[in-house]
Amino acid sequence: MRLVIARCSVDYVGRLTAHLPMATRLLMVKADGSVLVHSDGGSYKPLNWMSPPCKLVEGNAAGIESADGASASPGRLWTVTNKTGEHLLISIDEVLHDSAHELGVDPGLVKDGVEAHLQVLLAQHIETLGDGFRLVRREYPTAIGPVDIMARDGAGAAVAVEIKRRGDIDGVEQLTRYLELLNRDPLLAPVRGVFAAQEIKPQARTLAADRGIHCLVLDYDLLRGRDDPSQRLF
């Protein structure tokens, strides 16, 4: 990765045009060929960028002019061109820092507490749904997609469970579609639903209650055995 801090102006020339006036910015050139222009604000989002594959040429490019028609000295203009012929023109007035670093292969982000983890843990601790519950199957197949968990309650009735990290209206709608389909099967009906999530939005709770769906808030640390409610002060 190459990191350049410079006073520069930036023009995007393509399907539309965009201009960033002269200011001090961070220019990032990644090994995958992408080029990003950052300011000291705006969190992680760049002000402008060019996605790979693209080509970076340092020096004036004939026939390409910035939005304001300004010219740049040879070696002071970066011309970044993508596969569709669009250009990112970076006119550099002063370089304050220029360094290159070999980062190597990144192992990728390992997420904890995703829906797949919650599904496995809830299946292992199916009694979280209530006394007498037993697991029938994870990823129970239907014609419109798999139900996260199919279980039976203490009375032997079928229960379909939809699991989300953040429970919103879309998740309730998804479970509603599963229930409508499952209840057409005389070997399963009646099937009731449980909407389980680490956090459930009020609108989702209201819709679930209207459709006879029970809501269950999941405690991820408790399911993992890393939390003991008896040790809490409140």
**Span 119-173, pLDDT tens digits:** 999 999 999 999 999 999 999 999 999 999 999 999 999 999 999 999 999 999 9
Residue 65 pLDDT? 54
Residue 116 pLDDT? 84
- Class in CATH terms, 2-100: mainly beta
Q: Which fold has domain 115-229?
A: Trna Endonuclease; Chain: A, domain 1 (3.40.1350)
DSSP string across 179-194: HHHHTT-TTT-SEEEE
Q: Where in the chain is the domain with CATH 2.70.180.20?
A: 2-100
DSSP string across 215-233: EEE--HHHHTT---GGG--
Q: Average pLDDT of 52-70?
A: 67
* Rg over CA atoms, the chain: 28
Q: Average pLDDT of 95-120?
A: 80
Number of continuous H segments (helices) and E segments (strands) in the chain? 4, 12
Instruction: For residues 150 and 148, give the distance between their C-alpha atoms in angstroms, rounded to a whole number.
Output: 7
Is residue 218 packed enough to be buried (19+ CB in 10 Å), middle (13-18) or exposed (0-12)?
A: buried
Instruction: For residues 168 and 1, give the distance between their C-alpha atoms in angstroms, rounded to a whole number.
Output: 39
Statement: the pTM of the whole predicted model exceeds 0.95:
no
What is the tens place of the pLDDT at every residue in 166-209? 999 999 999 999 999 999 999 999 999 999 999 999 999 999 99
Q: Where in the chain is the domain with CATH 3.40.1350.10?
A: 115-229
